[in-house]
A and B are shown apart, each in its own frame.
Chain A
């Protein structure tokens, strides 16, 4: 945290201290307690997030793997003394080779995984939002049993994600899974869900939609309850149909909440590790891997390719940053302050 005063406070809190000359000094006098309060977090962010982030970015310009990480190879001679020789195949800086290799498809399956990630993210977020909004609208009205519905509908959120992942993998099991049993009992053929990438991805998407709807529903419901009831009454007096009221009052009233949860939802889904990792496990043959799980496998399975996985990480982060910059810009164009 620097003590620069380049960005003046927008709405200054009531001035309590006497003003002294010197911008820096004045700023320190006025804000020292705020800065002291944020210090622990800033330190943690620096040490635990930005330092590793920097290292990760540097790693992406090397060819470090598990096999070449030692700078010296030491071996014990017969006399018991250790002899160390420089490792002839030690890792080195390779510039942008990793990026070139990944983006041209020479190494790994970046574009295929990127495509899967896009399908995965868009489908999940669209269904999360649409179903969440629908259920929120239904719940946002007086009726019998509302509290019960709310608790039941929230249940999927209460289950740890890895447990849900196992539950869905269990239900989609080819031989004794519930879904195939139901298919069979109504006269359909069993489906080998994990034998084809489309059906395998479908199982993961179903699991993730099931898991993610409650968050959207509860958040949107919270947003709806901040819309003043008079607006609906006025619209009703003016003869607006329920659909018109929904489009002209509910949706605009939910705007700012929606924008936040859509951005967060997209980021979270893009990086959703456990569902893909545990439901499909990349089956068949790694074809349902999304970028994050693909990167994890290259880093921690087989010969651990640390540099490759870091390059993936940088690429994923860049994609998300670009996305959110455009997202914010689009919002700003429409006059959204956030």
Chain B
């Protein structure tokens, strides 16, 4: 699609936008640039827009081969999903599980991120390697043993089992991300604090934590969203309808036969709106942390 630069377009200018290159861009190049970006944006937005549009259509128009943007708009799908199904319960379950994962994950990994960022202690590189390796763990290798441990503890079909399972993803991820954010806070602040008589823990708690709040917020949101959208553990551990999370519960709308797409689309919109808003707020900070953690490892 847009794999190479169109010849003739201006150079990729760096941090400071300079006006010269903009003035020098020929009208044709400018047209090409905007056309490509508009095309890409349409592709990015369209599937979402289509689901949103479909969610307002009654069943016969959702499941019709006739192309139409809007036809007999209705809120019936939404009211069915909200009032006639267990959807609100699933949403509550997802919120509880994702919140618990987020809070526990952040609390456990904050000090680790700080230690990895600031101190060159023996074992540091090994720990960083472990975080990288945990990214490689397929769900397949952990899910069975964790399932059996949960079964032994009698935790199958509980929220706790999912929170514990999600921590295996969240803890390494949060540590890695938070290290990246702490890296971006100048060490001169630590030194100043230690001259003022702060120990390492005080420095961390009183100086660094308040400064890292945006980074912590982003890490928290991202952890929340990961738990919010997880499918495999939720499908394996949860068995009764009232305990489903959204990711699993929504599969109930589209069984192999007689799928109810009109309800699925409405549910999809309801699930996406809060997640999407949070995400768009958080994403600007997210990437700087992720790449910083990766490249300075």
Query: Which residue numbers of A lie inside 8 Å of B, CB to CB?
Result: 1-14, 16, 27, 30-31, 33-38, 40-42, 44-45, 48-49, 51-53, 55-57, 59, 130-131, 133-135, 137-143, 145, 149, 151-164, 166-171, 173, 175-176, 178, 180-182, 184-185, 210, 213-214, 218-219, 222-225, 227-229, 231-232, 235-236, 241-243, 245-246, 250, 256-257, 260-261, 264, 267-268, 270-271, 273-274, 277-278, 291-292, 295-296, 299-300, 306, 309-310, 312-314, 316-317, 320-321, 324, 338
Contacts and interface: CB of A to CB of B under 8 A. Distances in A.
Contact of B120 (A11, A171, A184, A241): A11
Given A16-B194, A160-B271, A260-B291, A48 B140 contact: no
B123 interface: yes
Contacts of B118: 13, 34
Nearest to B125: A7
Interface in B108-123: 108-109, 111-112, 114-116, 118-123
A312 B12 CA distance: 45
B28 interface: no
A230 B152 CA distance: 63
A252 B279 CA distance: 31
A223 B134 CA distance: 25
Contacts of A219: 287, 290-291
Residue with the highest number of chain B CB atoms closer than 10 Å, among A158, A159, A225, A257: A158
A260 B289 CA distance: 13
B153 interface: no
A222 B287 contact: yes
B148 A292 contact: no
A44 B171 contact: yes
A155 B141 contact: no
Interface residues of B, number: 119
Nearest to A242: B11
B295 A256 contact: yes
Contacts of A10: 120
B82 interface: no
A309 to B, nearest CB: 6
B51 A38 contact: no
Contact of B291 (A13, A51, A222): A222
Interface string B95-139: 000000000000011011011101111111101001011111111
Which 4 pairs from chain A and chain B are nearest by CB?
Answer: A313-B141, A142-B17, A295-B140, A160-B229
Contact of A180 (B54, B65, B201): B65
A231 to B, nearest CB: 8
Contacts of A274: 229, 231-232, 247
Given A242-B11, A296-B232, 11 more contacts: A33-B119, A33-B201, A37-B200, A38-B115, A138-B36, A139-B37, A173-B261, A218-B287, A242-B5, A278-B251, A321-B136
Given A134-B3, A219-B287, A267-B136, A313 B144 contact: yes
Contacts, number: 369
A242 B8 contact: yes
Contacts of B44: 152-156, 210, 213-214
Contact of A257 (B133, B141, B291): B291
Interface of B: 1-5, 7-19, 21-22, 30, 33-34, 36-37, 40-41, 43-45, 47-48, 50-51, 54, 62-67, 108-109, 111-112, 114-116, 118-125, 127, 130, 132-149, 164, 167-168, 171-172, 175, 191, 194, 199-201, 204, 225, 228-229, 231-232, 235-236, 246-247, 250-251, 254, 261, 264-265, 268, 271-272, 275-276, 279-280, 283, 286-288, 290-291, 294-295, 297
Contacts of B138: 270-271, 291-292, 295, 313, 316-317, 320
A218 to B, nearest CB: 5
Contact of B112 (A40, A139, A181, A225): A40
Contact of B122 (A4, A162, A232): A4
Contacts of A291: 138, 140
A139 B16 CA distance: 13
Given A16-B194, A229-B13, A158 B144 contact: no
A153 B142 CA distance: 34
A141 B231 contact: no
Given A37-B112, A273-B232, A316-B138, A246 B12 contact: yes
A255 B63 CA distance: 48
B291 A267 contact: no
Residue with the highest number of chain B CB atoms closer than 10 Å, among A34, A264, A268: A34
A257 B204 CA distance: 28
